[in-house]
Structure 1
Amino acid sequence: MPHEKAAGDTGHGGAGNAAADSGPPGRGHRYVTAPDGQRLAVRTAGPADRPVLLLVHGYPDNSSVWDALIGELAGEYRIAAYDVRGAGRSTAPDDRSGYRMDVLAADLVAVADAVAPDRPVHLVGHDWGSIQGWHAVTEPRYADRFASFTSVSGPSLDHAGHWFRSAPDGARRVLRQAGRSGYIGFFHTPLVPELLWLTGLGGLALAGTERLGGGPVRPARRTTRDYVNGLALYRANTGSRLSRPAERRTAVPVQVLAPTRDPFMVEQLQSNAGRWVDDLRFHRFHGGHWSLRSRPGAVAGRLRAFVGEVESGTPRRPAARRGGGAFSGQLAVVTGAGSGIGRALCLELAGRGARVVSVDIDGPAAEDTARRCSLLTPGAAARRVDVADARAVDGLASWVRAEFGVPDLVVNNAGIGAAGPLTATPPEDVDRLIDVNLRGVVHGCRAFAPMMAGAGGGGRILNTASVAAYLPSRVYGAYAATKAAVLSLSLSLRGELAPSGVAVTAVCPGLVDTGIIGSARLSALPRAERTRERLDRLSRLGGCPPERAARRIADAVADAPGVLPVNAEARLGLYLARFCPGAVRALARVGLPF
């Protein structure tokens, strides 16, 4: 029989005393009876007439893991947090079968029915709480109990099983995840994990992982009972779910927060949920596995935005295209989007489930790109902006934030070309090159980086440089100078923003058939029009299509390299610049072969 009171009794074969009341001072708890008779300790906070957040903790925590987040949100929402069976003040079953996923999901729904019998709840799960949440929202008979689901550091076991079997993100990432999940096999060994927790060695190891995310982590109020009882979660579920995964889909809006410094999982395991969710919002999040304790304000900000969208009934971001991955439900702002790499990248991102804001000095071209993107993922928008105008770029950033929210990806791609000896290039041409190619990037970074950092980090800024940034030549000195400046700026800004978790990449294309040569300024070259024709022909014959360049760029966003050489000559050029600088200096003296 379940215990009526958990305090002072383990309910699980003497695994240690139950925790004292884990709620904040002055806040009590009540019990909800689960379908099989177990007693679940629930505590509530916040105004009763506000939207209800139901918080489900993971392993080896109890509901106290949510204290900091509750402090951030209690005045805005009705919040309910409960101790999962076997943890905190809740009772524990005597048999491992009492921890199976279907039973855990039934517990979750029983608590939802008790705290919000007349309305759906906004479910928030962390770690094993997310795993339980995924099972509940993908169960058709429970789906109407949930207005939304926010998952922090926890995938569906069934989704994970399919991901491991199909390796959609490549064997390297699957192997990396297998390495990070090695502790699961250890947890299945008899007695040894229990001894580790009972001797305190396990707690010391866990404290080390909590510090990996950076920043102060509030002390966890865990007991030996939480550590030992929760091992049954792994032993009752992981083997069967990962080896025989079911097809589990949901129409419930889902937000996934994937910490960038989580030692237990790679982000692709979580973004893969786009295959199973009609409306997925995937956001990288700067922090470690326990970000809800180390960075509660930033987590609260993401929750406010998501719950606000769902409650309004007019979401800012449309449902992501099923099958999307890391870009599902994300917001991307791309300048220079009216043609070339910019347009191709917009279409590539939209094809992967991102909502795109297309920006260009040519308004009709930007609108045409947005129209095409909307055919892939609805809701793309366009804006005419001259990136050389700092006020215009600031206005763009304010408009994007007000209309769509904080972007996950900003691509400062707008640029112009020029060739000819520097000493013969008109000053106005040099000024325009600097204004667009360099100042345009500076303006974009200054306008968007602070808001991206303030939203929790994890976002990406891509600045388009060029192979010319590290392969100088006598025939494009001014152009190369602006691109070298963009490369240096990007690497410096990458270091500046690293503490906030916003990653900066300098994108360095080689020869790409973008049409930039047709609009490039060649006034300082003899026989300029003949040279233009030959350069244009060379780019068409030898350059890679912009669509291929866009795929390469989109594929690299997750890894966020400091420098991204896009095609073969860009990679070769980077190699020469690093290891054969003498050859690069010699090449700089060579003119055009015509």
Structure 2
Amino acid sequence: MHVQSHWIETQDGQRLNAKVWGDASKPALVLVHGYPDNQHVWEPVIQTLLEDFYVISYDVRGAGDSSVPKRIKDYALQRLSLDLENVVDQILPDRTFHLAAHDWGSIQSWESVTDARFKQRILSYSTISGPCLDHAAFWMRKQFLKDKPKFFKQLTKSWYILAFHLPILAPTVWHLFSPQAWTKVLQRLEQKDHLPSNEKISADGRYGIGLYRANFIPRLTRPRQRFAICPVQAIVLKKDNFVSPELIDEMPNWVASFSKIEIDANHWAILSQPENIAHAIAQFALAHNETKK
């Protein structure tokens, strides 16, 4: 695959590594990776998407080849949204684009998808295993009052969030993961051999903890009303070990044009079922490809 690399400078002095794939005359599609990944996790999906799209991916701050912030507050959702804006302003000036994201990439992308600044730019959003934290907070409050089994089911799946707030233990654990060891974990979870390896897994895991520490407590304790500014598709992974499919139930309350597709897959379906993920993203984006006015 032909790829061009770009360096994006942010207002607070970070450098983001972005990659551009394919034909610029095709509709633009931006992909945002999750945790503890970097943009290379999208490459199996990109192979299929290039038939229809001009694809942009980037390493979020603290991941891959991008620089690492020194302060936890520099991972705040508002700052992550500005990073997306910097990427598209440099690579896609004055162009609209589609957006798709996985895991933490989805969580942080909701900040942009519910921001009026992007109303004339984002044509569609496909979210995979990453709810808006504000929406999740409202959902969990409802479940605690009305359906405690659902509440505790998601709480059990989210054990790692509490672990990531531990000051010494969480970063130290990531030193134990080599690329080979992490790949074996993914292959057991996904029940599939020969998955791509993340050569920077130790650093990606260690530095990306800032995403959780900067955002979970503020958003879950003080949720905001955040309404989507574009059509949203939830790609629901029915066997997801980390995000309950039930969290999708809250989305229609905040999205005027909402649709859902289910895939019989686990959390890292972008690696284990890349063609199915690419097909779901492409079908939704192409159905919403009219330029905004």
Report the TM-score range of the alignment, normalised by the length of the smaller protein: over 0.9
Residue from 248, 251, 254 that aligns with 2:226: 248
| Structure 1 position 196 matched with structure 2 position 187 | no
Distance 1:105 1:203, change over 3 A: farther
Q: 3-state DSSP class of the match of 2:3?
A: coil
Q: Is the 8 A contact 2:10 2:83 kept in 1?
A: yes
Q: 3-state DSSP class of the match of 2:115?
A: coil
| Aligned equivalent of 1:269 | 247
> Matches of 1:184 and 1:217 in 2, distance apart?
28
| Aligned equivalent of 2:111 | 135
Which range is displaced more, 105-114 or 76-85?
105-114
Q: Residue type of the partner of 1:221?
A: N
CA-to-aligned-CA distance 1:251-288 (integer Å, 9 cap, x gap)? 30001101011100111112321110001111211111
| Structure 1 position 53 matched with structure 2 position 55 | no
Unmatched 5+ residue regions in structure 1? 1-23, 314-594
Q: Residue type of the partner of 2:81?
A: A
What displacement does 1:312 show? Answer: 5.4
Residue from 157, 177, 185 that aligns with 1:180: 157
Q: Residue type of the partner of 1:174?
A: F
Q: Is the 8 A contact 1:164 1:174 kept in 2?
A: yes
What displacement does 1:51 show? Answer: 0.4
| Structure 1 position 281 matched with structure 2 position 259 | yes
| Aligned equivalent of 1:157 | 133
> Matches of 1:96 and 1:52 in 2, distance apart?
32
TM-score (norm 1): 0.47
Residue from 203, 208, 227 that aligns with 2:185: 208
> Matches of 1:43 and 1:56 in 2, distance apart?
11
| Aligned equivalent of 1:148 | 124
Distance 1:221 1:169, change over 3 A: farther
Output aligned runs, 1:392-403, within 5 Å.
Answer: none
Q: 3-state DSSP class of the match of 2:288?
A: helix
> Matches of 2:109 and 2:180 in 1, distance apart?
26
Task: Please identify the structure whose Cα radius of gyration is greater.
Answer: 1
| Aligned equivalent of 2:274 | 296
Output aligned runs, 1:346-365, within 5 Å.
Answer: none
Output aligned runs, 1:171-570, within 5 Å.
Answer: 171-200=148-177, 204=181, 207-208=184-185, 210-216=187-193, 218-223=195-200, 224-311=202-289
> Matches of 1:262 and 1:216 in 2, distance apart?
18
> Matches of 2:146 and 2:197 in 1, distance apart?
35
> Matches of 1:220 and 1:152 in 2, distance apart?
21
> Matches of 1:238 and 1:170 in 2, distance apart?
22
Distance 1:49 1:30, change over 3 A: same
Q: 3-state DSSP class of the match of 1:257?
A: strand
Q: Residue type of the partner of 1:135?
A: E
Q: CA RMSD in A?
A: 2.0
> Matches of 2:194 and 2:236 in 1, distance apart?
18
Residue from 142, 145, 165 that aligns with 1:166: 142
Unmatched 5+ residue regions in structure 2? none
| Aligned equivalent of 1:118 | 94
> Matches of 2:194 and 2:252 in 1, distance apart?
31
What displacement does 1:75 show? Answer: 3.1
| Aligned equivalent of 2:53 | 77
Distance 1:153 1:207, change over 3 A: farther
> Matches of 1:54 and 1:169 in 2, distance apart?
38
> Matches of 2:252 and 2:185 in 1, distance apart?
32
Distance 1:295 1:271, change over 3 A: same
Distance 1:297 1:234, change over 3 A: same
| Aligned equivalent of 1:362 | none
Q: 3-state DSSP class of the match of 1:281?
A: strand
Q: 3-state DSSP class of the match of 1:251?
A: coil
Higher relative contact order (CA 8 A, sep 6+): 2
Which range is displaced more, 133-142 or 201-210?
201-210
TM-score (norm 2): 0.93
| Aligned equivalent of 1:86 | 62
CA-to-aligned-CA distance 1:413-455 (integer Å, 9 cap, x gap)? xxxxxxxxxxxxxxxxxxxxxxxxxxxxxxxxxxxxxxxxxxx
Q: Residue type of the partner of 1:286?
A: D
> Matches of 2:178 and 2:75 in 1, distance apart?
25
Q: Percent identity at matched positions?
A: 35
Q: 3-state DSSP class of the match of 1:30?
A: strand
What displacement does 1:300 show? Answer: 1.3
Q: Residue type of the partner of 2:214?
A: A
Distance 1:151 1:136, change over 3 A: same
